[in-house]
Amino acid sequence: MSDIRKKVSMLQVMADIKPYIINMIAMITKRFVENVLKKG
């Protein structure tokens, strides 16, 4: 029973963190693309 609760809480944490991770990836990608465009 405790294993199921652990999994559920982990899923909730992942759901909370996901937007931040997506934002970070988007910002890094944007900077990378801007740098490439400036060099080109």
- pLDDT digit string, tens, across residues 1-40: 689 999 999 999 999 999 999 999 999 999 999 999 998 7
Task: Please report, for the chain, the start and end positions of each structural domain, with discontinuous segments joined by +.
Answer: 1-39
What pLDDT was estimated at residue 40? 75
Distance between CA atoms of 21 and 2, rounded to whole angstroms?
28
Distance between CA atoms of 6 and 14, rounded to whole angstroms?
12
Q: What is the pTM of this model?
A: 0.60
What pLDDT was estimated at residue 25? 98
